[in-house]
Structure 1
Amino acid sequence: MARPWRVVVLDDGYPDYETERTILAAAGAELVLSPCRGDAAKAALAMGEADGVLVRETPIDAAAIATTQARVIVRYGMGYDNIDTAAAAARGIVVCNVPDHGTEEVSDHALALLLAAIRRVAEADRRVRAHGWGLPIDRKIHRIRGGTLGLIGYGRIGAAFHRKAAALGYARVLVHDPFVREVPAGASLASLDTIAAESDAISLHAPLTNATRHIIGRGFLALAKPTLVLVNTARGGLIDESALAAALAEGRVLAAGLDVYENEPLRHDSPLRSLDNVVLTDHSAWYSEEAIAELQRKAAQEVARVLEGETPLHPVNQTR
C-alpha cells in the first residue's frame, strides 16, 4: 500500500492546524508540523520527503528546493519573496500564494495607519500617558479633505483601500500600477514622479520585486511635499528605510505609518524607533480571526488541488 502524501508545515504560530488536517486528509495526505523558525537549513531537512509544503516566513532557497520531491509549495499569504520560485519551477514544483484572504483587514489597517499618522494619535496618547497636555506648536496637522491621495499598486487591497479612503474627501486620487490600464471614476493613472510631487498622502500596495525594491528612495522622497504622509502595509523592501528615516527626521516628510519593514522584526537600532512622527505596527495588518480561518482553509485547499492533479487557483511561477 502506497504511503499517504506528506505535507510539511514549516512555520508554527496558528492556534491549531485542524482545518489543514481535515482538508488534506480528505485528499489522502497527512500533515506534519516541522517548525523551522526562519532557518533555511532546517527547511531543507524538513522538506526532504515532503510532497507538499506550507510556509509563512521561513526562507525556501534553491538549496532547500534541491532536496525535495514536493509537487507544490503554498505560501500562507500574498507575498512570496521568501521562496526561490525560479528554482522551484526548474524542478517542476508549482508555487502558489493566497492573495485573496485578508483584503478587508489590510485595507482597514492601512486606513487606520493613515489616520493615526495624520492626526498624530500615537504621539498624543504617549503625551497624555506621561501627564502632558496640549499639542506642541511645532507638531503640524493638516486637513485631509481637498488633498491628493497617491496609491502605488492597485490590486485587491489597493482598490479596497481606495474605496474606504474615498469617504475622507480627497479631491484627487493618483494611481500608479504598471498592470492597470483603467481606474474607477475619481482616480487617474499617474507616473511615480507625479505621485511623489503632488500627493499629500501615499499608501503602498505593490508586490516586492526587483523592479519595486526601494521604489520609495532618496530620489522619490526628494520630490515629496513636506506635508506628505506615507503608509506601507505591503512589503518593507519597497522603502529605503534609511532614506525615509532621514527625510522624517529632517522634516522633508511629515509622517509615516508602517506595518512592514526591510528586516523583521524591526531592528533594535533602527532610527525609525526614535522618531515621534512614525506610527509602527508589527506586520499585523493581515490579522483578524476570520482572516486566519480563511487563510488556513485556502492554503490547504490549494495544496490538495495540486496533489489531486487539479489546476491550482493561484500559481505564481511557470513550471516546465
Structure 2
Amino acid sequence: MNAEQCRCGGSDKRKAIVGITEPGYADHSVEADILSPLGAEVRLLRWGGDRAKLLEMLDELDVVMVRDIPVLDAEAIGHLKAGSGIVRYGVGVDTIDLNAARERGIKVANVPDYGADIEVADHAAALTLALVRRVVTRDEKVKAGQWNIAQKEPIYRINGSTLGLVGFGKIARSYLERMRGFGVGEVLVYDPYITDEYAAQFGAQRTDFDNICRRASIISLHAPATAETRNMVNARTLGLMNEKTCIINTSRGGLIDTAALAEALKAGKIFGAALDVLDKEPVAADCPLTGLENVILTDHTGWYSEASVRSIQEKAAQAAVEILTTGTPTNWVNRW
C-alpha cells in the first residue's frame, strides 16, 4: 500500500495517528495491517527535505516512526504531543534527542532484534574478503584489459591473521563466527561493557583500542555512536596501524574521522578500508574517500535483505501498538 494515508477501522473515538517519515520502505501495508485493529490512521510523511513542513506534520501525531532521517532534535520533539511515542526502525537512536523526549513524556522505542545480525555480519565478512582479496580493484582492472597483475599489489593471508573487534555485541560475535571459518588467529576485543571472562568464552582477549590498532591486521567496528566513540579512528590511532591494517565499518560512520582516514589511505599507511557507513550520508560529492582504490564503499545496506525488511516493519509496528495500548513498549530506550 503506497497511499498517502491509510484509514483503518474504528469510529467511536478520535483515530490515533501514526506517521511514517519518508524516506521509508517501498511498501507500508505491513504496518497498516498490524495497526488496523486499533482503528489507527497511518500517514506517510512526505516532507521532501522541507523541515518546516515536517515540523507541521509532527503536531498531529500520536506516534512517529523513523529511520535514520530525519533527525528528531529538541525542536522537532517539541512539536510532538506530550505523552506521544517515537519508534525507530532499527537499533541506533543517535539521531533522536532522548532527553528532550523524556522531558515531554515521549517514549522512544527501537527494534534491536529484527535479525539484522545475520545480514550485517554477512556484509562485514563480504567487505572483509573483498578488501583483503582486492576483489573490487581486480574486477575493474580485468574489465579494463589488464591481466597477471597479482604481484603488483600485495595480498595478505587471512588465515592466522589477528582480528580486532571494536564492540562485542551480537553482530560482532556473528561476524567472528564467520571469520573463524577463514582461519583468523588471535582475536582481540575492545568493549568496556564486557569482562575478560566473557570475552574468553568466545576465544577472544579483551584489550584496549590502542592495542588493537597496533596488533590487528583486520579491525572491524561494531560500536554504537556515542561521545566516547566519536572519531575513535583518528590521526593518532591510525598512526598506530601499519601497511597491513584493514578497517571494516558496518556500525556508524561517526566512529571514523573521514579526513584522517583519507590521508592515511592516500599515503599507504594502512592497507585499506571497507565502509558501509559514513559520517555524512548519502555520500557527499567532495567526500575524500571516493576515487581511492584502497577503499570500498556501500550505501548503508549491511542490514538489508527482503527478510530483514519485513521483520523490522512488523516489529516496529508492534512497538507502535504497544505505545498506543499499554503505553510501555518492550524496547523502551529512554526509560524514566
Could you state the TM-score of these two structures normalised by the residue count of structure 2?
A: 0.92
CA distance in 1, matches of 2:247, 2:168: 16
CA distance in 1, matches of 2:158, 2:139: 21
Relative to structure 1, is the Cα distance of residues 12 and 270 closer, same or farther in structure 2, using a 3 angstrom cutoff?
closer
* 2:42 counterpart of 1:34: no
CA-based RMSD = 1.4
1:269 maps to which of 286, 305, 314: 286
Match of 2:319, SS?
Answer: helix
**1:38, distance to aligned residue in structure 2 (A):** 4.6
Where does structure 1 lack aligned partners over 5 or more consecutive residues? none
Relative to structure 1, is the Cα distance of residues 43 and 82 closer, same or farther in structure 2, using a 3 angstrom cutoff?
farther
* Higher deviation after alignment, 295-304 or 28-37: 28-37
CA distance in 2, matches of 1:244, 1:130: 28
Where does structure 2 lack aligned partners over 5 or more consecutive residues? 1-11
CA distance in 1, matches of 2:128, 2:278: 17
CA distance in 2, matches of 1:239, 1:309: 40
1:189-225 Cα offsets, whole Å, 9 max, x none, are 1101111110000111100011111011111111112
- 1:24 alignment counterpart: 35
* 2:163 counterpart of 1:141: no
1:59-105 Cα offsets, whole Å, 9 max, x none, are 11111111111521011111121111111111011111111221101
2:175 maps to which of 161, 167, 189: 161
* 2:97 counterpart of 1:84: yes
**1:136, distance to aligned residue in structure 2 (A):** 5.6
* 2:71 counterpart of 1:59: yes
- 1:132 alignment counterpart: 146
Match of 1:274, SS?
Answer: coil
- 1:9 alignment counterpart: 20
CA distance in 2, matches of 1:80, 1:26: 28
Paired letter, 1:252: K
Paired letter, 1:47: L
Q: 1:45, 1:64 within 8 Å by CA — same for their partners in 2?
A: no
* 2:121 counterpart of 1:107: yes
How many residue pairs get aligned? The number is 319
- 1:218 alignment counterpart: 235
Q: 1:40, 1:59 within 8 Å by CA — same for their partners in 2?
A: no
Relative to structure 1, is the Cα distance of residues 136 and 168 closer, same or farther in structure 2, using a 3 angstrom cutoff?
closer
* Higher deviation after alignment, 113-122 or 59-68: 59-68
CA distance in 2, matches of 1:303, 1:195: 41
CA distance in 2, matches of 1:314, 1:39: 30
CA distance in 2, matches of 1:78, 1:11: 18
2:298 maps to which of 275, 281, 298: 281
- 2:309 alignment counterpart: 292
- 2:5 alignment counterpart: none
**1:36, distance to aligned residue in structure 2 (A):** 2.7
Relative to structure 1, is the Cα distance of residues 156 and 42 closer, same or farther in structure 2, using a 3 angstrom cutoff?
farther
Could you state the TM-score of these two structures normalised by the residue count of structure 1?
A: 0.96
**1:130, distance to aligned residue in structure 2 (A):** 1.0
**Alignment of structure 1 residues 165-314 onto 2, 5 Å:** 165-181=179-195, 182-183=198-199, 184-314=201-331
